[in-house]
Amino acid sequence: MKALVFHRPGHVEINDVPDPRIEDPQDVVLKVTSTAICGSDLHILNGFIPQARDMVLGHEFMGVVEEVGREVTKLKVGDRVVVPFPIACGACFFCNHASPVNCEHSNKNYGPEGGLLKEKGGALFGYTDLYGGYDGGQAEYVRVPYANFGPRVVPDGFSDEEVLFLTDIFPTGYSAIDWAGVQGGETVAVFGAGPVGVMAMKSAWLRGAKRVIGIDIEDYRLEVARRTANAETLNFDKVNVVEALREMTDGRGPDVCVDAVGMEAERTLADKLLNVWHAEMGTIKVLRACISAVRRGGAVTLVGVYGMPYDNFPLGQIFDKGIRMQMGQAPVQNHIDKLIGHLQKREIRLDDIISHRLPLAQAPHAYEIFRDKKDACMKVVLSP
């Protein structure tokens, strides 16, 4: 079959690779009908998350069940499904405590420590050997483990594009708002108007926010945030965002700030020199801005990826302001059924952020324009 294969930082290709097969009685093999490129895929492409061997990428995908293992009871051949990006068994301690991203059984590198090159939690599709080494879904076919727990059958009447983002970016954006405890009436500021950030903005309205503000450095992304998420917007490079947010909130700051950017925020030369000095990759500049901007007693949530320790972490500021914080990979399995319900009620639209639709054969080009923000690239959907 054809698949998008990571070979080394900066280099991906479409290659012929072996077809996936049933390896465990709880597996299914899926014929992929739609897949997407995520900002997290760029962390691998750019070398921020290390991967030594060749690997099929992609953790946002859906398709039709082609083959089922003998212990699969909830799916049958021909079912059309979306697949959460975390791989979880559904039976371990963490899965039974609503924390599927920390599954004890899905990742051979599992352990309690955590950290960039240390023990990890649950596995992720197409996201390096550190996270289980499972091939991803930017391919014609993919093996899906623990098929009784993860995949969800797509309700009738929906196109692929209307439901594809249930795999990751919609539940991830929703998790940022859920972790903040948004109940209604809050002002929510989302740093990063990429796909996850826009989904967080949409989710804030779902949870009853009074005001939603999107922040980015790219004007085309801010336009998408205004058009698709009805957000007010600020350009991080054109205004002092912390001061502007305080002015918009009677001097207090937003009730909630979401970091939907992570470690690969734009860096100055000085930032890069400090990275070398401290043996760090990336920057926490967006997180710092969230901590400064949020009101005292407010909440900061992180769904942008951070892979390593950072010096000069503003712990004293967090303590003084009494900020509540939560972060991590999104527990997609916890939210996906509820989010499908929102779609069935037509309370939210997901496909309006798609900027490019390309065949899988053009995936390397798609990675290039997405990484380099060419052609106002917001979100790419690939068709195998």
C-alpha dihedral over 213, 216, 218, 223, to 10 degrees?
-10
Q: Mean pLDDT, consecutive 10-residue segments, the chain of 384 residues?
A: 97 98 98 97 91 97 98 98 98 97 96 86 96 97 98 97 98 98 98 97 98 97 98 97 98 98 59 41 87 98 85 93 97 98 97 98 97 96 97
pLDDT at 310: 83
Distance, in Å, from the CA atom of 14 to the CA atom of 137, rounded to the nearest integer, reads 13
Distance, in Å, from the CA atom of 319 to the CA atom of 105, rounded to the nearest integer, reads 36
Domain 169-327 has CATH 3.40.50.720: yes
Residue 37's closest CA among 80, 66, 4? 4
pLDDT at 274: 42
pLDDT at 264: 60
Start and end residues for every CATH 3.90.180.10 domain found in the chain: 2-167+330-383
Q: What predicted TM-score, i.e. pTM, was given to this entire model?
A: 0.94
pLDDT at 91: 97
| DSSP sequence for 344-359 | HTT----GGG--EEEE
Query: Options 1.10.10.10, 3.90.180.10, 3.40.50.300, 3.40.50.720; which CATH number does 2-167+330-383 get?
Result: 3.90.180.10
Q: How many residues does the chain have?
A: 384
Contact 65, 77 (CB under 8 A): yes
Contact 112, 103 (CB under 8 A): no
pLDDT at 119: 87
Alpha helices (H) along 122-164: 160-163
Start and end residues for every CATH 3.40.50.720 domain found in the chain: 169-327
